Structure 1
Amino acid sequence: MTTALQPPLPSHPVLRLRLAPHGNLPRAIDGAWWPRSYDLLVELPRLLAGLPGAWGHITSVTVNGATWPAVPGRMLVSNQVVRLHRTLVASAPRTVVLLAPGQGRWDLLVVPPDTTEKAAEPLMSAAAGRQV
């Protein structure tokens, strides 16, 4: 009897992130992130690990408190402290703001985890391809 070997499943799901091209013009949105859940303690380390190295070390993250139910004041990501802030500003319900001292600020559109792929694709493309 022979058994077909299946390739192992990836230990970490593929990061669903699209970034806008780097340019000199300021942008309202720098890209889009489509997390797999609303568990920030699981999702944020994956996001930060997938960012370009040129962005530097992200030390501060601001999320919408209505979107992310549990947000501690800080967390350890890759042996670095990241401060977390909650906002309830209605003008930015679906964004995450990333700050790296001396490097810059990046605002990402957050596509809700339960969004279908068909609905998420145009949102991700628009956020990465043109000013939103």
Structure 2
Amino acid sequence: TPLFVAAFKGHGEIVQQLLAHSAIDVNAEGKSYRGETGTPLFVAALKGHGEIVQQLLAHSAIDVNAKGNSGTPLFVAALKGHAEIVQQLLAHSAIDVNAKGDSDTPLFGAALNGHAEIVQQLL
């Protein structure tokens, strides 16, 4: 989808324009040329695009726990070491901190890759 591609590529202005349309499906899944599949929030969290994560989280229909091909947005942000994005996601009232990614929790993903700051955020 256009929103997925803009979120994947980090094009914040385009994301903002697309989110302004009432017909936009903020949770529509897409697939990148690299094979990542999921929602725009998932790919923005995966790629470390904090500004776009913030824009998407502000949308009333956002599903913050929607899974992509390798887990939830929180799982991939923790796994990749994106501490700012982990903090943004944790601040959302609907976040499920224990939702499993592929087969593990965000805490496991952060610990696996040695992201001590994120482990602390998740505890």
Tell me the TM-score normalized by structure 1. Answer: 0.30
**Larger strand fraction of residues:** 1
Q: Which has the higher helix share?
A: 2
TM-score under structure 2 normalisation?
A: 0.31
